[in-house]
Structure 1
Amino acid sequence: MNSKKGMFAKEYLWRTIVTLCGLSVIVLTLVIGGFLVYKGSGTFFKFHHTIGEFLFSPDWAPIDNMEGGGSVGTLIFIVGSLSTCGLALLIATPFALGSAIFMTEIAPSFGEKFYRPVIQIFAGIPSVVYGWAGLTVLVPAIRNVFHRQVGHSILAAGLVLAIMIFPTITSVSADAIRSVPKDYRMGAYGMGSTRWQTIYKIVLPASASGIFSAIILGLARAFGEALAVAMVIGQTTALPTSIFSTTKSLTTEITAQMGNAMEGGETKTALWTLALLLFLISLLFIFLIHYFSRKKPETSGKHTKKAVKGGM
């Protein structure tokens, strides 16, 4: 009897600890969000700028004093972030998806023993190493190959980011593909499908939600990167006109200016608002990941049966 009471007490204790840990994460997230709202809202309430000016004006010239009077248009940084991250996603996604298919469907034994560890090594490399490699190898290569005056550009930043998000998209996509029930594959083979027909008509549609989640997770990773991008993008406060243009992103501007700005001044407050914008973008990515990762077994099964009947 005493042993049972002891077991129940231990179970209750550990359940309480785990619950408190989970709640602490939620509270910490809310505190961070509230702190960013408190610090970043001063751009609109203290210095009386509008949301339209902040989001859609390319004129970034905040005054580093307590009175304000400058301009805080962040369109340059938003366009810079979107262009570099979009280019990175465009480059990385086909290679990552192909790698995930190879790892799970073409050579699963080799993929698990050798290929996945290599991918994980890529994921563990510090961002400064990617940035340094881009600065010393990629930037000169772009300058020489395309005969540009400088190699710093959106193209350089996009390529560096593509390499950085490649492991994330590959690993999560591979897990999504691997979670497709084996019965789907066996049913397709039983109806005379080739391996490639099974992959692109059955496996990929059934794992589409997980693959979309992987892509969004990679995009979120790219949006949050600062150091590697700052080293190769050129750090010019100007709207880009091509992939060879130099510009800035949201993260690079924050890292470049935050340490030098006056506390409570217009510049630092505007930088806090940039951080708040990044936080909201991250929340949007999280909601999108949850939306795409919601499992609908019945829908997936019907879709797969339809694909098997219609595609063979």
Structure 2
Amino acid sequence: MEKMPEDISLQLLKPNKKVKIERMGKILAFTAVGITIAIAFAILFLVSSKGLSTFYSNKGSVIEFFTGLKWNPGAVNELGKPIIGALPFIFGSFVVTILSALICAPLAIGAAIFMTEISPKFGKKILQPVIELLVGIPSVVYGFIGLTVVVPFIRDHLTGSGFGIAAGTIVLSVMILPTITSLSTDAIKGVPRQLREASLALGATRWQTIYRVILKTARPGLLTAVIFGMARAFGEALAVQMVIGNSAVIPSSLFEPASTLTSILTMGMGYTVMGQAENNALWSLALVLLIMSFIFIIAVRMIGKGKKTA
């Protein structure tokens, strides 16, 4: 039997370089995915365990937490349970988020229509850089502008001290405007060009095409954009804290001071001791924020599935 040449035998025994690279790529990809999943579960476990400890360690009442109006975790009521009425903060977060979405959504969708259907060149050259600039501005700058411009304007020309739901809504509306505009622009651009041409060929005007064809086709993407904007508004902390007044009450008007979940968290977390009732109560507020984030994510995924099936 003839001997195999030495260089050929070495090539057969030596692993292929492409196989090594592919194997290494798989290892790196699975490692990255594993680390991401581990971090997500670690955050979920930490927030859940700390947030629920208010109810099983400090014997807080779940009903009082969601319906109570008084917030003083360091004190106890006549039943010996901590006073953890978080309804004013939950109410403030929802009101500010919903109002800012109602104000911002029409403006953002209108800007997206202008950038894509009416004046694409002007939108690409002027509006797109402006939107990107607004995205890059830190939230503390928005809060400082609201504190020096919006609050004095409301105090001098409307009523009250200037701090309140109205000031927080205005600041959040400006903050989430670029997010909703960018996502709405992508959704409208995703509408097939054939639909536009077919609508115009059937005699529809440009506005009829925009209203009856483009917006209806892009509706799932537009809803997703609004939900993403609401998610950012719901989780915003610093800018809202600077202009909302941070009063633990349910306001009777838009011009009275209020509080949100994030503003109370940022104000109180640095002044509590880990394991105490005050600290655990703040973790419970963080758990509510985490649950709301999951709800927003589930809503986006459901809209996406509806878009695919349609």
TM-score by length of 2: 0.91
CA distance in 2, matches of 1:11, 1:103: 43
CA distance in 2, matches of 1:200, 1:253: 42
Q: 2:88 aligns with which of 76, 98, 104?
A: 76
1:70 Cα shift?
Answer: 2.6
Structure 2 equivalent of residue 234 of structure 1 = 245
Q: Work out whether 1:59 is the aligned partner of 2:103.
A: no
Structure 2 equivalent of residue 126 of structure 1 = 138
Structure 1 equivalent of residue 7 of structure 2 = none
Which SS does the other structure have where 1:264 is aligned?
Answer: coil
Which SS does the other structure have where 2:16 is aligned?
Answer: helix
Q: Work out whether 1:116 is the aligned partner of 2:140.
A: no
Which SS does the other structure have where 1:294 is aligned?
Answer: helix
Q: Which amino acid aligns with 1:127?
A: S
Q: Work out whether 1:282 is the aligned partner of 2:282.
A: no
Q: 2:112 aligns with which of 93, 100, 116?
A: 100
Unaligned runs of 5+ in 2: 1-10
Structure 1 equivalent of residue 268 of structure 2 = 257
Which SS does the other structure have where 2:161 is aligned?
Answer: coil
Q: Which amino acid aligns with 1:244?
A: F
Q: 2:52 aligns with which of 37, 41, 49?
A: 41
CA distance in 1, matches of 2:198, 2:207: 14
CA distance in 1, matches of 2:309, 2:258: 47
Q: 2:230 aligns with which of 208, 219, 234?
A: 219
Unaligned runs of 5+ in 1: 300-312
Structure 1 residues 14 and 298, CA, compared in 2 at 3 Å: closer, same or farther? same
CA distance in 1, matches of 2:116, 2:29: 34
1:4 Cα shift?
Answer: 9.7
Summarize the alignment of residues 191-206 of structure 1 with structure 2, pairs less than 5 Å apart: 191-206=202-217
CA distance in 1, matches of 2:252, 2:160: 16
* Runs of 4 or more consecutive aligned structure 1 residues displaced over 3 Å after TM superposition: 1-4, 295-298
Q: Work out whether 1:293 is the aligned partner of 2:304.
A: yes
CA distance in 2, matches of 1:118, 1:32: 35
- Indicate the larger mover: 105-114 or 39-48: 105-114
Structure 1 residues 286 and 296, CA, compared in 2 at 3 Å: closer, same or farther? closer
1:112 Cα shift?
Answer: 2.0
Aligned residues: 296
CA contact (8 A) 2:97 2:169 kept: yes
CA contact (8 A) 1:36 1:272 kept: yes
CA distance in 2, matches of 1:254, 1:191: 56
Structure 1 equivalent of residue 279 of structure 2 = 268
CA distance in 2, matches of 1:70, 1:294: 43
1:17 Cα shift?
Answer: 1.4
CA distance in 1, matches of 2:102, 2:246: 22
Which SS does the other structure have where 1:244 is aligned?
Answer: coil
Structure 2 equivalent of residue 154 of structure 1 = 165
1:251 Cα shift?
Answer: 0.2
Residue deviations 1:218-244, cap 9 Å, x none?
Answer: 000001111100100011111111111
CA distance in 1, matches of 2:121, 2:16: 47
1:14 Cα shift?
Answer: 1.8
Asked which structure has the greater CA Rg, the reply is 2
1:265 Cα shift?
Answer: 0.9
CA distance in 1, matches of 2:262, 2:308: 39
CA contact (8 A) 1:64 1:262 kept: no
Q: Work out whether 1:25 is the aligned partner of 2:33.
A: no
Q: 1:178 aligns with which of 189, 193, 213?
A: 189
